[in-house]
Structure 1
């Protein structure tokens, strides 16, 4: 059985998030030979344009950060293994009418390094993480202000509750909805129903929990925490704005770090900020590590069909965003 280094590479993760793509279907392509093992899971989506008798598709990696990864390799054979895999995947794309490929590479495992020669890249900003291998993350990683916030939350009577079964999914979703309204989140891709979150506890059993903050018996803040291998992820966060003054989010991050250290994890990933300067400053207060670049890989696997689809879109409704990839979805 493959030894996957992070939760985003698990097949059950890919299967869970295939439903986030319209008519998406999880596929896996692997290469195993005497040199090593390459694993790649992706979601195939039908292209919503009819320009002839053939139905074409494109691919995208599941929510999160993954992409093709070399799971094992004979020393010095990485480049050769990557070339062989790219050839195999090109053949797969040709056989299955796949036109383009979009990859959200994993910035902390740096799997891009083995495959960057095959893709054009786009920088989608940065992501931040807390180093849990230091002697004392609270003293060495947290800023004085963040430490003060954690102490303030505790002194104010904010309490922590861990939910490993999803028993209080309804409360999490209530808080998440409040957060979405406050931040004007309208993109369906970043909205999650109670059923969706509840199902995740079945498919990802033993790999996640909800970390709640409570005040006077009320749930006021929460984070869905993921964990696998050496990594913990501050995945989805939800808050009641009325209680921001209690700094419950800071306490949740501290408790997530504490849990990670107790379970031998090496990093707690705080995620990106999508250009939100306030969110960047908040997360930055908890870490002194350098941020990681979020690099996306773009590749046209069938140039002729790609151009045909772009021309078809231009003459049938037009392209709204000329910077979008693939352009026929712009």
Structure 2
């Protein structure tokens, strides 16, 4: 059984996602709706069930969320994981620890059947290729190595929210000092929801983007933030740091199914020496723990590098070690080559040696 759900079927989409034990917020229709508004493409949910009878046991089920994008050639499309993390979420694999060889072979057969069905469906949809960013916390890249060329990149960081003591114990001693410093400096952390908070966020966030000469993609219109508030209303929380009554740092946290995620953030550079972001993330982790959440995923460095951003994050859990992986799939090589040729024909500066994928979008 194969079905593709559109964003117009949001209720059925979310009902299906929630039947998977390990789903995260990135799979919900409300999450991808904002990025459709942002212009990232048409959100779709691919669903596979090896059993014709969906209530039967012993089969393999899988879902994959992607953005279907138009290309320069009419009638041809490509696809990409929505901003953040995703990849196939699968249930029905055998426990390989109980009978390694037999179950391993069974799992490989199931996964290859899913992959064959997926590729066939993508071709029917005229989708030429796909770029996927796997979810480090779900480790869903591991099983897909059977049928896909998974590329392991850098590490990401997550906090264990098992208890307040565990949170504090895992934080690096220098970062604990920064958290204490922020409190001593009079930084107050508050949280809540509301459209007026996004107005404050946009002012600080856009100022940072201006300062860093950020690409246009990283500027979000008010409608994008409105969608977070309306379509993810039960799955987001705003945290902000105040100093002498002024908001100096803000973060949008998103969550689902016991998983808290660091989404978008900003801070006023004039006040960074007060360490507001250190205290903000610590308080957000404590809030998540209080709400019964199990993990707080902070993500990794820019471009998966172990840069200053990564070093800032790893200081919140010195024991964290989650693998971030990607994959690049070409479903129809002749059409892919046609898109590359089209780009080359209209762009004399096009670098056909680029490692960017898909090449025609470099």
Report the equivalent of 1:28. 45
1:230 pairs with 258, 265, 280, which one? 258
Q: Which stretch of structure 1 is more off in the superposition, 97-106 or 30-39?
A: 30-39
SS at match of 1:323: coil
1:173 to 2:190 alignment: no
- 1:1-330 correspondence runs (5 A): 1-2=15-16, 3=18, 4=20, 5-22=23-40, 24-32=41-49, 33=51, 34=56, 35-48=59-72, 50=73, 55-73=75-93, 76=103, 78-133=107-162, 136-185=165-214, 187-274=215-302, 275=305, 277-318=307-348, 319-320=350-351, 322-330=354-362
TM-score by length of structure 1 reads: 0.91
Gaps of at least 5 residues in structure 1 are: none
The count of residues paired between Structure 1 and Structure 2 equals: 324
Scaled by the length of structure 2, what TM-score is found? Answer: 0.83
Deviations 1:25-74 (A, max 9, x none): 112221122413211121111112x3xxx621111011111111114556
Classify 1:138/1:39 alpha carbon distance in 2 versus 1 (closer, same or farther; 3 Å).
Answer: closer
CA contact (8 A) 2:154 2:306 kept: no
SS of the residue aligned with 1:118?
coil
Taking the aligned partners of 1:126 and 1:184, their CA distance within structure 2 comes to 26
Residue 334 of structure 2: SS of its match in structure 1? helix
Structure 1 pair 73–120 and aligned structure 2 pair: CA distance change class (3 A)? closer
Unaligned runs of 5+ in 2: 1-14, 96-102
CA–CA separation in structure 2 for the residues paired with 1:143 and 1:301? 45
Give the C-alpha shift of residue 21 in structure 1: 3.9
RMSD after superposition: 2.1
Question: Structure 1: how far apart are the matches of 2:218 and 2:208?
Answer: 12
Contact 1:134 1:140 in 2 (8 A): no
C-alpha distance in 2, partners of 1:285/1:325? 32
